A = this chain, B = another copy of it.
Amino acid sequence: MPPEIAALPAPPGDYAELVRRLRAEGARLPPRLRQVAEHMLAHPEDMAFQTTAEIAARAGVQPSTLVRFAQALDYPGFSDLQQVFRNRLRRESSDHRARLAALRGEASGEGGMARTLLEGFIRASQASLETLSGRTDSALIETAAARLARAGTVYLVGARRMFPVVSYLAYAFGKLGIRAVLVDNVGGLGAEQAAMAGPGDAMIAVSFAPYTPQTVEIAREAHRSGVPVIALTDGALSPLAVECDILLEVVEADFGAFRSMAATFALAMTLSVATAEKIRADA
């Protein structure tokens, strides 16, 4: 027979469980605590962000009551209860990030080095796709596609790590029957290849940190010559951001020193097919 240790009950681990718990035993809570529970369910966002003093004031109780409330639900303190609300707000993306961090932490877990690396790159790709799904303004893609659809020729610029993306775009555009030129810098003639572009054309420039100077330079030149430039880049700090007409932002997760390209490719695919659709719609 086990000794009578007060088996301290586990607090609800997530928001859904918390709500279930309150529904079950919320009725037999003391008046002030019930008041807190009601406020909590009515304003879950306040619970995530505000301080004890603020929440207490809004709920019409003392800060200490909040702590007591949390402890009545078996949390060590109010902060632990609050964490549940914060996690609820950030949803799955934190899941991915935590898993990535864990993977990075273990030197080489079970399954061997290759397994660890593979899982790491897969997680990084998944996280990137997740972010792309949540944060991308599809209207902006449509705008970009419309611009590309009107272009006589689409010039594709990108180097080093991003060259795969533009070479893919060259393939996709070709297959879709859209006239495109891959600025591949063969023979060092990148600038000359791109200089063919005029205001009736368009350019897709792809560059992520650390930005290849030549890509930025070519985009700048084109932009200043009146060529519509669509930038595929990693954010507002990119030097491409100021040298473009339409900025498509992509956030890629990394694993080790290597950044995923999954989101960038998905966006590139979308952009090319959307352009083809626009052309078809116009005709």
Contacts and interface: CB of A to CB of B under 8 A. Distances in A.
By Cβ-Cβ distance, the 9 closest A-B pairs, closest first, are A164-B164, A115-B138, A114-B141, A23-B236, A114-B138, A121-B266, A164-B168, A26-B237, A262-B262
Contacts of A93: 45, 89, 91
Contacts of A111: 138
A206 to B, nearest CB: 12
A241 interface: yes
Nearest to A117: B270
A68 interface: no
Contact of A172 (B129, B258, B274): B258
A119 B129 CA distance: 10
A133 interface: yes
Main DSSP-derived SS at the A contact region = helix
A235 B41 CA distance: 7
Given A114-B138, A236-B41, A164 B167 contact: yes
Q: How large, as a class, is the contact surface on chain A? A: 35 or more
Contact of A235 (B38, B96, B175, B267): B38
B112 A133 contact: no
Given A91-B93, A117-B277, A122-B133, 14 more contacts: A23-B242, A37-B237, A45-B93, A117-B270, A119-B133, A121-B266, A122-B266, A125-B125, A164-B168, A172-B258, A186-B186, A261-B265, A262-B265, A265-B265
Contacts of A265: 125, 260-262, 265
A134 B96 contact: yes
A161 interface: yes
B133 A125 contact: no
A76 to B, nearest CB: 18
Contacts of A41: 235-237, 251
A19 interface: yes
Nearest to A118: B270
A139 interface: yes
B118 A132 contact: yes
Nearest to A21: B236
Nearest to A267: B118
Contacts of A26: 236-237
Contacts of A90: 45, 48-49, 89
A105 interface: no
10 contacts: A23-B236, A27-B237, A38-B209, A45-B93, A117-B270, A118-B266, A163-B164, A163-B171, A258-B269, A262-B262
